[in-house]
């Protein structure tokens, strides 16, 4: 029993590392923007590191402290704002599901 528990924990430590590294804020491809540097990267195998952008291909510049409110995020073309995206702030996410201004 103890041996099985140790093996299970070891498997979780080895295979679950990337999964546990970011407890949320990944898009459907397993990618996200780094909050501090703004770079886009992926954690799942086979995912493309090229960011997806609707419209012109360039993300709107977001304030470092997040948008003041959802009207400002919508005016910038950034709504909805996901946790991990530039411009996200918990004040924009009333239901705390990781998606602000939905």
Does 88 map to a domain? Answer: yes
19 pLDDT band (50/70/90 cuts)?
very low
Does 16 map to a domain? Answer: no
Does 90 map to a domain? Answer: yes
Does 18 map to a domain? Answer: no
CA distances from 82 to 15, 26, 33, 73, 78 (A): 26, 9, 10, 11, 9
Domain around 75: 25-100
Q: What is the pTM of this model?
A: 0.41
User: What tokens appear for 13 in the block?
Assistant: 């430590």
Does 76 map to a domain? Answer: yes
pLDDT digits (tens, 9 = 90+) for 60-96: 566 767 888 999 888 888 889 999 888 888 999 999 9
Residue 17 has pLDDT above 70, yes or no: no
Does 7 map to a domain? Answer: no
Does 31 map to a domain? Answer: yes
Does 65 map to a domain? Answer: yes
Q: Do 88 and 66 form a contact (C-beta atoms < 8 A)?
A: yes
Domain count, the chain: 1
- d(Cα 66, Cα 82) in Å, to the nearest integer? 11
């Amino acid at each position: 029993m103890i041996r099985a528990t140790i093996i299970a924990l070891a498997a979780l430590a080895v295979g679950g590392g990337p999964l546990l590294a970011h407890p949320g804020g990944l898009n459907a491809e397993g990618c996200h923007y780094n909050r501090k540097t703004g770079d886009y990267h992926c954690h799942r195998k086979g995912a493309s590191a090229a960011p997806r952008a609707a419209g012109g291909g360039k993300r709107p510049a977001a304030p470092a402290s997040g948008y003041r409110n959802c009207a400002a995020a919508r005016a910038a073309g950034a709504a909805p704002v996901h946790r991990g995206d530039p411009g996200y702030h918990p004040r924009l996410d009333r239901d705390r599901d990781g998606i602000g201004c939905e």
